[in-house]
Amino acid sequence: MDTLWTPWRYAYITAGDKTGRAGVPAALAAWPGDTGCVFCNLIAATDYAIEQGMPRDEAEAAGGLIYRGRDCFLCLNAFPYTSGHVMVMPYAHRDRLAQLDTETAHELMDLAQRTERVLERAYRPHGLNFGLNLGEAAGAGVAGHLHLHAMPRWTGDTNFMTTVGETRVIPEDLATTWKRLRAAFMGDKG
């Protein structure tokens, strides 16, 4: 079988809150706004919760935020393809790499390098996928806000997919992944 393997075609999906604002986890639903973007909502709702007095760790765990840099951040994919599936992206709502200023572009790559190290240490994978889809035609689930997918891979980890189609076994829940990668990222010294 010759298949184009594009796990990042799977949309970043959250259940959303009662008002249907995408990207706003239930625990952060006090935030009153809606930017219309999953990722901008995620950051704004997390910041709002912290401003309102929620402990930073608690708010960032609720938002799946693993690490926040100056211009870019790292978060869990709420609909992981494999354990440890994360995304690196700018805070700025941009849909092309060429739209990022130099500092932001460099930080994106710096975080990608750190993510590679951390995923290797935390998950001992056989390989890694890093992928960036620019535009809906390229498979971007959230086309307006670019995000670099990163995920550990193991030999044979998709073998069953050909028989069960869209059903994937994710052996680790998001809260566990967050704790594991948060600790690993905080301990990463290069």
Cβ nearer to Zn ion, comparing 40 with 66: 40
Residue 94 binding Zn ion, by CB under 5 A:
no
Cα→Cα distances 91→87, 88, 109, Å: 12, 10, 14
Find the distance separating the first CA and the last CA of the chain, reported in whole Å. 40
- The distance of closest approach from Cβ of residue 165 to Zn ion in the complex, given in angstroms and rounded to an integer, is 31
Q: Which of 8, 12, 31, 39 binds Zn ion (CB under 5 A)?
A: 39
* Binding string, residues 115-154; x marks residues near Zn ion by CB under 5 A: ------------------------------x---------
Q: How far apart are CA 89 and CA 105, in angstroms?
A: 10
DSSP-assigned beta bridge partners for residue 25: none
Closer Cβ to Zn ion, 17 or 157, answer by number? 17
- From 9, 93, 94, 117, residue interacting with Zn ion (rule: CB under 5 A): 93
- Binding piece for Zn ion, criterion CB under 5 A, among 70-78, 87-95, 99-107, 155-163: 87-95
Could you tell me which residues come within 8 angstroms of residue 101 by beta carbon, excluding any fewer than 6 positions away? 71
- Please say which residue, 23 or 125, places its beta carbon nearer to Zn ion: 23
Smallest gap from Cβ 55 to Zn ion, in A, equals 25
Residues 6+ apart with CB under 8 A from 140: 8, 133, 134, 146
Backbone angles phi and psi of 18, in degrees to 5: -65, -30
- Amino acid type, 60: E
* Active-site residue, 147 included: yes
Active-site positions read 147
Binding site for Zn ion (CB under 5 A): 37, 39-40, 93, 145
